[in-house]
Amino acid sequence: MSQLTGIAASSGIAIAKAYKLAIPDLSINKKEIANIDQEIDRLLKALDVSKSELEKIKEHARTSLGDEHAEIFSAHLLVLSDPELINPIKDKIETDNINAEFALNETAQMFIEMFENMENEYMRERAADIKDVTKRVMAHLLGVSFPNPALIDEQVIVIADDLTPSDTAQLNKKFVQGFTTNTGGRTSHSAIMARSLEIPAVVGTKDVTKQINEGDTIIVDGIEGKVIINPSAEEIQTYQKKQEDFELQKKEWAKLKDEPSVSKDGQHVELVANIGTPNDVEGVLNNGGEGVGLYRTEFLYMGKNELPTEEEQFDAYRSVLEQMGRDKPVVVRTLDIGGDKELPYLELPDEMNPFLGYRAIRLCLERDDIFRTQLRALLRASTYGNLKIMFPMIATLDEFRQAKAILLEEKDKLIQEGTEISESIEIGIMVEIPSTAVIARQFAKEVDFFSIGTNDLIQYTLAADRMNERVSYLYQPYHPAILNLVNNVIEAAHAEGKWAGMCGEMAGDAIAIPILLGLGLDEFSMSATSILPARTQLKELSKEELASFKDQFLSMGTADEVEAFIREKTNQ
Amino acid sequence: MAVEKTVTITDETGVHARPATVLVNKAGSYAADMNLEYNGKSINLKSIMGVMSLGIPQGAQIKIVANGSDEQEALDAIVEVIKSEGLGE
């Protein structure tokens, strides 16, 4: 047996045989052929087999993911019966006496290049669809097996370099017990999908595809980020026990799904979720989320070549609000682009210090065309649920005032156009820049709420680039400086009768939760899968008792002292 | 004798993948030859890649031409799909 370490992307334990999801070698040669009819027959058969596979995949996508996800496969099927694709291939076989593989490749390449050279990004992406479909036909012509994750019908662990959205869309939870990949991180697409499918996953193992052979027995430990290859009988037993414990634990958590989030001494706080797309809402509801504390709207802008239209955005916002219902709040963060999140089509110049540069609200206030489109879409969607809007990266009161003024202008315009808009939209800010945390009192008079973004607040307060591994030791959520800033923000909010929340990894952290509860935080926003564990933990914590420790941990000198203190007080 | 009709695309995103799929599927269910003309190009309406390759935007005037035994029926059906999909009028 051997063992690999990666990033624990989705918790749980899976034990099963390896299924390697690798694109086979599809290299081809040009050959002269003797029998034209036979060659065309081979082509038609390969097309037929591919079509029936795609039909099955489409059916699978329809039942497991819904009609919308299945649409793409309808388009793929049409490509396989497209006369403009098939006739030229047949012609080439007939006139040039060449093999079907070569004729297919030449024709497909022509179309792929045509689409790749189109101006519109959406059209360019269609090139990938044609590649996908023709690869399948090519595999059948060459007689090599083409991976169909949708057609897996025994319990396996999927091993891949990376998983594309269409790969993950095909995974059947009944059979796919877990997966592990070479690349990716906690926030990569495959990791996010794994958490929403709730299957254990370890990503970023670097060379899992090399280390594992088809059919090897694999353990994926998504709790600790380990992959064990061909384990001994004893190890399997140990992990089966671990798996049972985890399942029992999950059942315990699930009991709390519809329970309120209250501490041992009966104090209620809101446990809400961070999401990136409307598809994430299902996971929020399944995990008993009391709302959405951070809807990152960047995904609407990323992975394409132009800005999303007002309609596109309206559809997404409306979908999230409708799914969450009237009672559960949805806090939408306006566009937070720049820093490490780039939009190539905006053609922003490279900067020496992107995290300190032109990003988020700074960009939105200058490019107010982008900002106004987003605000209009949000305002129009506001009547479909309980919408709250927050601006990211606010460093000065002026920025907040300007952003709010633009919001109110668009609101007036829409009202004049006869559009109905909710009258109770709260407007708040992310607190992630120390200047704002320090003068939170002044802000609290003007904003409706605060949401503390700890990932950035920590990097700005300790002056440690969070992308730089050599200074990662300075990423200290329990640093007393951070806790004092957080305390200042919460006190400021409460002094003005406003509420304070936190989004960012820290809000779901088992050491941070008691601290934040003691400081009086009102809303904790975290990954959906962290909500039930947090609710479980909360039941054991007394807010009053923790609040009585407040002066002690706020006056400590180091993060380690704080951590040791909290561990002792909460028996962790 | 061929029949034809010109329509204007009103959908904000033009003729994108989903309505294109519906159009091509519909066209494929008739015997008549069907072409779509836009911007000086004529493509086979039974070809998904043909339709997609035109990248038809909002505001485009497109001409649908049907030629064959069930041409009128086919043309009517396509125009109906364009309306019901909210593509144009």
Domain ranges of chain B: 3-84
- Using an 8 Å Cβ cutoff, are A316 and A335 in contact? no
Indicate the residue of A71, A123, A311 with minimum beta-carbon distance to B18.
Answer: A71
For residue A57, the model assigns a pLDDT of 83
Positive or negative torsion for Cα A187, A188, A189, A191: negative
Of all helices (H) and strands (E), which one includes residue A122? helix A121-142
- Report the distance separating Cα A534 and Cα A510, nearest Å: 7
Q: Which residue of A has its CA nearest to B33?
A: A83
Indicate the residue of B12, B25, B53 with minimum beta-carbon distance to A309.
Answer: B12
- Report the distance separating Cα A199 and Cα A134, nearest Å: 30
For residue A48, the model assigns a pLDDT of 95
Q: Find the helix packing angle between B17-28 and A67-80, rounded to 10°.
A: 50
How many helices and strands, by DSSP H and E, does chain A display? Answer: 23, 16
Distances (CA, A) of A137 to A114, A166, A201: 20, 17, 31
Do the annotations mark residue A432 as ligand-binding? yes
Amino acid A443 reads: F
- Using an 8 Å Cβ cutoff, are A323 and A283 in contact? no
B3-84: CATH architecture: 2-Layer Sandwich (3.30)
Of all helices (H) and strands (E), which one includes residue A453? strand A449-453
Residues of B in contact with A75 (CB under 8 A): 17-18, 20-21, 48
Residues of A in contact with B20 (CB under 8 A): 75
Indicate the residue of A83, A118, A309 with minimum beta-carbon distance to B47.
Answer: A83
- Report the distance separating Cα A16 and Cα A218, nearest Å: 6
Inter-chain residue contact A123 with B21, CB threshold 8 Å: no
- Report the distance separating Cα A539 and Cα A320, nearest Å: 29
Torsion on CA atoms A18, A19, A22, A23, rounded to nearest 10:
160
**Sequential pLDDT tens for chain A (572 residues):** 689 999 888 889 999 999 988 777 888 999 999 899 999 999 999 999 999 988 988 887 777 666 766 777 888 899 999 999 999 999 999 999 999 999 999 999 999 998 888 777 667 777 878 888 898 999 999 988 787 787 788 899 999 988 765 576 677 778 999 999 998 776 666 776 787 678 899 998 988 999 999 889 999 999 999 999 999 999 999 999 999 999 998 888 889 999 999 999 999 999 999 998 888 898 899 999 999 999 999 888 876 778 999 999 999 999 999 999 999 999 999 999 877 677 878 888 888 888 899 999 999 999 999 999 999 999 999 999 999 999 999 999 999 999 999 999 999 999 999 999 999 999 999 999 999 999 999 999 999 999 999 989 999 999 998 777 788 889 899 999 999 999 999 999 999 999 999 997 789 999 999 999 999 999 999 988 889 999 999 999 999 999 999 999 999 999 999 999 999 999 88
The domains of chain A, with CATH numbers, are 2-22+149-252 (3.50.30.10), 36-142 (1.10.274.10), 255-570 (3.20.20.60)
Closest Cα of chain B to A73: distance in Å?
A: 10
- Report the distance separating Cα A183 and Cα A194, nearest Å: 14
pLDDT digits (tens, 9 = 90+) for B23-79: 999 999 999 999 999 988 899 999 998 998 888 888 889 999 999 999 999 999 999
- Report the distance separating Cα A242 and Cα B48, nearest Å: 51
For residue A340, the model assigns a pLDDT of 67
Inter-chain residue contact B18 with A82, CB threshold 8 Å: no
- Report the distance separating Cα A21 and Cα A19, nearest Å: 6
Indicate the residue of A74, A111, A309 with minimum beta-carbon distance to B49.
Answer: A111
Inter-chain residue contact B53 with A114, CB threshold 8 Å: yes
Active-site residue flag, A503:
yes
For residue A283, the model assigns a pLDDT of 86
Inter-chain residue contact A84 with B28, CB threshold 8 Å: no
The first and second tokens of residue A425, run together, are: 């939209």
Amino acid A470 reads: R
**Interacting residues of B71 by C-beta distance below 8 A, sequence separation 6+:** B1, B2, B3, B32
Computed on alpha carbons and rounded to an integer, the radius of gyration of chain A in Å comes to 27
- Using an 8 Å Cβ cutoff, are A206 and A185 in contact? no
HEC letters along B4-40: EEEEEECCCCCCCHHHHHHHHHHHHCCCCEEEEEECC
Distances (CA, A) of A118 to A126, A306, B23: 10, 13, 22
The first and second tokens of residue A500, run together, are: 């304070």
Q: Which residue of A has its CA nearest to B50?
A: A84
**Interacting residues of A487 by C-beta distance below 8 A, sequence separation 6+:** A519, A550, A554
- Among the listed residues A69, A189, A364, A479, the single catalytic one is A189
Does ipTM top 0.90?
Answer: no
Residues of B in contact with A81 (CB under 8 A): 28
- Report the distance separating Cα A7 and Cα A186, nearest Å: 7
For residue A483, the model assigns a pLDDT of 98
- Report the distance separating Cα B77 and Cα A364, nearest Å: 46
HEC letters along B46-80: CCHHHHHHCCCCCCCEEEEEEECCCHHHHHHHHHH
